[in-house]
Amino acid sequence: MPHLAVSDVRAKYGSLEVLKGISFSIEKGEIVALVGPSGSGKSTVLRALMGLTPITGGDVDLAGERLNYSSSREVRAARDRMAIVFQQYNLFQNMTVMQNLTLAPLKIKRWDRAEVEAEARRLLGLVGLSDKIDAYSDQLSGGQQQRVALARALALKPQILLLDEVTSALDPELVGEVLDAIRKLAAEGMTMVIVSHEMGFVREVADKVVFMDAGQIIEAGTPAELFDTPKTDRAQNFFSNILRH
């Protein structure tokens, strides 16, 4: 049984159907990358999983349990088990790095303070920011903020981590440090769904690549299959265009 199974998920913005029946699955510890042109619905898949964009059809199963997005209580239950990191880091501006990490575990989960803080320190060590524990987000570079956002997402011990173009807003020289942090998570066995334009990185870390266009999955397979021998015309066009530079 897959860790996360998404079957025939649909979503609309107003009357525009942005997800037209998306199905894929991930085993525990796997990394799936969603790739495709802008507007293809990759980010919407992640937003739908988090309950930020309402799902209008289809099913999501996580660790054998059906996730139900029909009430705000159910949505919160789903968010309890997954975490997302956004393109724009979205740290809380008025809090230190440590407070950003510990707010939700302490105030929302009401976990034990000593354990939460120990875990926060461990995570900051993992992303290489132990020295920034008392800094505010406006004192950090984009890459550092994004690594804090990663650690903050992990502080809630999610069963799956969703990464939505986490390097797209960064200066090129800062991309590497964030990708390194993600590699470490992969080595720890974190199950992840990644939306990314960093094709080299996707090829390196992903177990499975899903190519999307216009709200549909066009083709899915291993990185080698999609990058080297895409079967569909659209995938061929897309990969030949972006791999050219």
Partner 1 sequence: MNYRFQFGVVWENFPQLLEGAWLTFQLGVFAFAGGAIVGLLGAAIKTYGPWPLRLLVDTYVVFITNTPALIQIYFLYFGLPEVGLRWSNEACLLIGLTLNAGAYLTLILRAGFISVRVTEIEAGQTLGMSLIQQIRYIVMPHIAKSIYPALANFFIVVLVMGTSVGALIGVDELTGQAINLSSVNYRWLEYFTVVAGMYVVLTFIASIGLALLGRWVFRVKARIF
Q: Which of 77, 76, 127 is nearest to 100 (CA)?
A: 127
The region of 77-85, 118-126, 175-183, 212-220 touching partner 1 under the rule CB under 8 A is 77-85
**13 forms bridges with which residues in the sheet?**
16
**Contact between 111 and partner 1 per CB under 8 A:** no
117 belongs to the binding site for partner 1 (CB under 8 A):
no
Residues 214-233 that bind partner 1 (CB under 8 A): none
Q: How far apart are alpha carbons 174 and 182 in whole angstroms?
A: 13
By CB under 8 A, the residues from 142 to 171 that bind partner 1 are: 149, 152, 156
State the DSSP H helix or E strand holding residue 150, giving kind and residue range, or none if neither: helix 142-154
- The answer to whether 13 contacts partner 1 (rule: CB under 8 A) is no
Closer of 52 and 63 to partner 1 (Cβ)? 52
Assess contact for 24 and 8: CB atoms under 8 A. Answer: no
Is residue 113 within the footprint of partner 1 (CB under 8 A)?
no
Judged by CB under 8 A, which stretch of 18-26, 100-108, 185-193, 229-237 contacts partner 1?
100-108
Is 88 one of the binding residues for partner 1 (CB under 8 A)?
Answer: yes
Q: Is 239 in the site for partner 1 (CB under 8 A)?
A: no
- With respect to partner 1, which residue has the nearer C-beta, 84 or 205? 84
Q: How many CB atoms lie within 10 A of CB 87?
A: 17
32-51 core/surface letters (b: 16 or more CB in 10 A; e: else): bbbbbbeebbbbbbbbbbbb
Shortest Cβ 165–partner 1 spacing (Å): 13
Q: Which of 74, 76, 113, 134 binds partner 1 (CB under 8 A)?
A: 76
Please pick, from the candidates 38, 70, 71, 93, the single residue that binds partner 1 as defined by CB under 8 A: 93
- With a CB cutoff of 8 Å and minimum separation 6, the contacts of 114 are none
How many Å apart are CA 108 and CA 190, to the nearest integer?
23
The residue (of 91 and 210) whose beta carbon lies closer to partner 1 is 91
109/231 with CB nearer partner 1: 109
Rounded Cα distance, 31 and 20, in Å: 23
Residue 161's nearest CA partner among 130, 123, 116, 211 is 123
* List 5, 52, 63, 126, residue binding partner 1 (CB under 8 A): 52
Instruction: Single out the residue of 196, 215, 212 nearest to residue 204, CA to CA.
Output: 196
Which residue, among 20, 80, 78, has the nearest Cα to 45 in the 3D structure? 20
For residue 65, the tally of other CB atoms under 10 A from its CB is 11
- CB of 157 or CB of 183, closer to partner 1: 157
Query: Given the rule CB under 8 A, which residues bind partner 1?
Result: 50-52, 76, 79-80, 83-84, 86, 88, 90-95, 103-104, 107-109, 136, 149, 152, 156
